[in-house]
Chains A and B, each alone.
Chain A
Amino acid sequence: NAGVTQTPKFQVLKTGQSMTLQCAQDMNHEYMSWYRQDPGMGLRLIHYSVGAGITDQGEVPNGYNVSRSTTEDFPLRLLSAAPSQTSVYFCASRLTSGGVTGNTIYFGEGSWLTVV
């Protein structure tokens, strides 16, 4: 298993540009989510999904869109990038159907995004 795979790892955007951060997992996890990590702010939840076709907002959803057309993929879209969106982005997934390891959250390696 590759686990949780995020691309790209590094990206520089100009203000107003759009882009998509890709996230894929091969563990058949129902739950997928996106977090952003800023210095001193911890991991803040942007959007999450508990299954294909279901998405919901987290703590800081403004400026971001998501969709979940398959169990494996959960892309994060920035429609019009702003300097305030400069951050490290982590995709994470887990099972929600129980089991000994059902609650373990697996993170991708992170995507470093700079908006200038």
Chain B
Amino acid sequence: GENVEQHPSTLSVQEGDSAVIKCTYSDSASNYFPWYKQELGKRPQLIIDIRSNVGEKKDQRIAVTLNKTAKHFSLHITETQPEDSAVYFCAASRDYSSASKIIFGSGTRLSIRP
């Protein structure tokens, strides 16, 4: 069945440095890849997403890259700040399809050191 693997499970970076989280997916028909941020005790919320017809997408300090051939995608956070500390989840799904279940990775706990 479909699977999404996410690495690393924990990540600690110095404030101001960059953080990179990587995911791989197994369903070659997946064409939509969102990233969610979950702060402690709260619900996950979308921070950025990418579709398979795009190789990279940026939104201020956050960027996502996609390699369809290798079936992996990554989240890049630059100039990290204390408020970036949270758990981040990647996900994969088929777009606009009846088989549109969304499978999440196991999460990465990001800590920003002052």
- With beta carbons under 8 angstroms apart, the residue of B49, B101, B107 that contacts A103 is B49
Give A110 to B102 CA distance when docked, in angstroms: 17
Query: From B104, which residue of chain A is reached at the shortest CB distance?
Result: A43
Q: How large is the interface on B (under 10, 10 to 19, 20 to 34, 35 or more residues)?
A: 20 to 34
Query: From A99, which residue of chain B is reached at the shortest CB distance?
Result: B96
Interface SS of B by simple majority = loop
| Residue A107 at the chain B interface, CB threshold 8 Å | yes
Query: Shortest distance in angstroms between A6's beta carbon and chain B's nearest beta carbon?
Result: 9
Judging by beta carbons under 8 Å apart, are B89 and A110 in contact? no
Interface residues of B in 1-20 (CB under 8 A from A): 1, 6, 9
Give A43 to B34 CA distance when docked, in angstroms: 14
Judging by beta carbons under 8 Å apart, are B102 and A45 in contact? yes
Interface residues of A in 33-59 (CB under 8 A from B): 33, 35, 40-45, 48, 50, 56, 58-59
- With beta carbons under 8 angstroms apart, the residue of B45, B46, B104 that contacts A35 is B104
Judging by beta carbons under 8 Å apart, are A103 and B45 in contact? no
Query: From B95, which residue of chain A is reached at the shortest CB distance?
Result: A103
The interface of chain A, by Cβ under 8 A from chain B, is 31, 33, 35, 40-45, 48, 50, 56, 58-59, 90, 92, 94, 96-98, 102-105, 107-110
A–B pairs, 30, beta carbons within 8 Å? A33-B101, A33-B102, A35-B104, A42-B106, A43-B44, A43-B89, A43-B104, A43-B107, A44-B104, A45-B101, A45-B102, A45-B104, A48-B101, A50-B100, A58-B101, A59-B103, A96-B96, A98-B96, A103-B32, A103-B49, A103-B93, A103-B95, A103-B96, A104-B49, A105-B46, A105-B91, A105-B102, A107-B43, A107-B44, A108-B43
